């Protein structure tokens, strides 16, 4: 199953709002950075659930759905990015399943490391799978459960799932949400002033619909939202719960800067990482330039701590999708050129410190340094505001083929040479832990800190599917 789905996605769900579908539409729209290949929305209206989805951005995928958006007491939206190369509508979410619990719409973010085992076992027992989504695995587990209530069936099924996940399930009776036992993938809970309880991958989506952030969903927590009230149920007993391991890469790069991670601002975390990077790896220079947009806070932090002016030496064409989540290498190569250009007046004749939040494949860095040199930069010193990315992620972010990870396949000197920088330095793992607040518990597996959830394919010595 090395070609199985592996994705980074965004979820927004709402229960009990007079304009639920429209809220889900705008909430999902604000999570567009988490997936741009397909978008979908499930709407509960007059006792039935309908699902509408399409390829492309939210505004493209759902543009013919104005009628739908006027309806609904509850709704669930999803944006998706797949790493399989199969950008087809059949893989778009939410999935709609007709079950003994009535119609269920399921959407998830993340990756189950035991998906292959679960799928084989379920297939042996007679389950017929339509696609390769992890959502379908949960649906089959629910169908097989001996419990008569959906809430109990979820409590029975969720402990069987291993990996990083945030699931949301819309039914006639209620909206359900669960976060994996380590809290790897993000999920937050909010409340709208107009009534309605909301769940979202990031707090920026709550801000967009003017909802209040209540708290992050706890690891191993099942939340059941119904008209009668909200139930919070742990699906792993407190004494068996593993150590918290929230995805550090959300803080480094993925989350929108205006989002809060467990109450901490992503923007301020990144600025702090930049400060720490300047203390660890100073260099004499004339200007600090950040890679727009996600690296600007780290570049500002670096500039503040080093007392070197920050300036906008690179500008971004805002109408091009994020480079990192372009599904093919060819797409990534060409989109760097289309997306960014250097500001000659800022960099010509200068010693430039170029700050990026991460260096995964090296493609972007090489192109950016070349752009800066063509614009007249005298020296380019690359500084990365996270440690070397050496290990594939198995929990839902596409940084996944080990052979594509530049820091894994090259020495620091070879990598510096390859990207064309005068010097190259990374933040240390200690610097990252300190900047994030180590006591909160973070997954830093891709930075070589060890996998919080064992990955069966690695244990068996099989090549990573991702």
Residues that bind ligand SF4 (CB under 6 A): 164, 184, 247-249, 393, 395, 397, 443-446
Q: In this structure, how many other beta carbons lie within 10 angstroms of the beta carbon of residue 296? A: 22
322 token code pair: 């994020």
State the angle between helix axes of 266-280 and 296-306 in degrees (0 to 180), rounded to the nearest 10: 40
Least distance between ligand SF4 and beta carbon 121 (Å)? 25
Comparing CA positions, the residue from 105, 78, 66 lying closest to residue 24 is: 78
291/444 with CB nearer ligand SF4: 444
Least distance between ligand SF4 and beta carbon 110 (Å)? 9
Q: In what order do the strands lie in the sheet with 38-45?
A: 48-55, 38-45, 74-82, 7-15, 197-200, 188-191, 212-216
Maximum pairwise Cα distance, the chain: 72
Residues designated as active site = 9
d(CA 42, CA 35): 17
Comparing CA positions, the residue from 367, 14, 45 lying closest to residue 191 is: 14
211/445 with CB nearer ligand SF4: 445
54/392 with CB nearer ligand SF4: 392
Residue 244 gets the label, from left (phi > 0), alpha (psi -120 to 50) or beta, of beta
31/443 with CB nearer ligand SF4: 443
Asked if 371 and 340 count as a contact pair (C-beta separation under 8 A), the reply is yes
38/109 with CB nearer ligand SF4: 109
Least distance between ligand SF4 and beta carbon 391 (Å)? 7
By Cβ distance, which residue is nearest to ligand SF4? Answer: 393
Comparing CA positions, the residue from 375, 358, 365, 360 lying closest to residue 422 is: 365
């Amino acid at each position: 199953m090395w070609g199985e789905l592996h994705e980074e996605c965004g979820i927004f769900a709402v229960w009990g709002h007079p304009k639920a579908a429209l809220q889900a539409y705008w909430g999902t729209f604000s999570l567009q950075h988490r997936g741009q290949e397909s978008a979908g929305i499930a709407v509960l209206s007059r006792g039935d659930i309908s699902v509408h989805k399409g390829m492309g951005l939210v505004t493209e995928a759902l543009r013919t759905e104005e009628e739908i958006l006027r309806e609904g007491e509850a709704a669930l939206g999803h944006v998706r990015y797949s790493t399989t190369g199969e950008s087809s509508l059949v893989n778009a979410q939410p999935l709609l399943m007709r079950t003994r619990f009535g119609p269920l719409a399921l959407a998830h973010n993340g990756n189950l490391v035991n998906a292959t085992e679960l799928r084989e076992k379920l297939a042996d027992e007679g389950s017929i799978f339509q696609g390769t989504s992890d959502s379908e695995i949960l649906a089959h587990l629910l169908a097989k459960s001996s419990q008569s209530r959906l809430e109990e069936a979820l409590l029975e099924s969720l402990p069987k799932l291993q990996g990083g996940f945030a699931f949301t399930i819309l039914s006639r009776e209620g909206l359900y949400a669960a976060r994996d036992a380590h809290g790897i993938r993000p999920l937050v809970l909010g409340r709208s002033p107009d009534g309605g309880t909301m769940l979202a991958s990031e707090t920026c989506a709550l801000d967009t619909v003017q909802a209040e952030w209540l708290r992050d969903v706890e690891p191993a927590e099942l939340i059941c939202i119904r008209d009668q009230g909200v139930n919070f149920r742990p699906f792993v007993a407190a004494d068996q719960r593993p150590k918290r391991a929230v995805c550090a890469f959300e803080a480094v790069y993925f989350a929108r800067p205006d989002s809060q991670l467990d109450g901490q601002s992503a923007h301020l975390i990144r600025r702090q990482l930049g400060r720490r990077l300047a203390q660890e790896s100073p260099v004499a220079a004339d200007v600090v330039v950040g890679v727009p947009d996600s690296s600007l806070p780290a570049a500002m932090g670096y500039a503040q701590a080093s007392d070197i002016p920050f300036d906008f030496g690179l500008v971004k064409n805002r109408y091009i999708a994020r480079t990192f989540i372009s599904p093919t290498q060819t797409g990534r190569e060409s989109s760097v050129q289309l997306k960014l250009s250097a500001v000659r007046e800022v960099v010509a004749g200068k010693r430039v410190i170029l700050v990026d939040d991460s260096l995964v494949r090296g493609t972007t860095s090489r192109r950016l340094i070349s752009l800066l040199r063509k614009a007249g930069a005298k020296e380019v010193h690359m500084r990365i505001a996270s440690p070397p990315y050496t290990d594939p992620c198995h929990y839902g972010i596409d940084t996944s083929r080990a052979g594509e990870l530049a820091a894994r396949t090259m020495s620091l000197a070879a990598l510096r040479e390859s990207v064309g920088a005068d010097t190259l330095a990374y933040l240390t793992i200690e610097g990252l832990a300190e900047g994030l607040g180590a006591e909160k518990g973070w997954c830093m597996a891709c930075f070589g800190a060890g996998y919080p959830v064992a990955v069966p394919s690695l244990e068996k010595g099989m090549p990573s599917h991702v």
